[in-house]
Structure 1
Amino acid sequence: MAERLALEKLAYLEFLRLLEASHFESQRTGQAFYNHFDLHRLSDQQALAGLYAADGRQAIKLIECMFDIE
């Protein structure tokens, strides 16, 4: 993934709210983000593999590095 993807700030904040409310309790943080934003539709899945497997703070750091939250 050469360039960062754009993500609407309100959508990201809503994801964080759901995460905090244990809406995704059976999923890792990165897995929940991947599924919530339907990232399976993107063609560069290799770049997303590490995100899908990440959990907690590591996943949040990856998200903030991979996406421009605007």
Structure 2
Amino acid sequence: MNTVNLKPSTKTDDSLYYQEQKNEVSLFEYAYHHQLPVLIKVPTGCGKTRFIAHMAEKLNKRLYTVS
């Protein structure tokens, strides 16, 4: 049995950190406000879930994830 020691987060606020790469945040906001569908297609591990979680928080929406 392996034991994992978790360190408490040093983050001072409750917001999810996301580093914008180009203009995906403004594009997503535009699509959201104009009720346009969005398809996010990038390789595994590129941050799709983190981006969507960030946008849900920014737009004050609940996020439900399904595996």
TM-score clears 0.5: no
Question: TM-score, normalising length from structure 2?
Answer: 0.33
Greater per-residue helix proportion = 1
More relative contact order, 1 or 2 (CA 8 Å, 6+ apart) = 1
Structure number with larger C-alpha Rg: 2
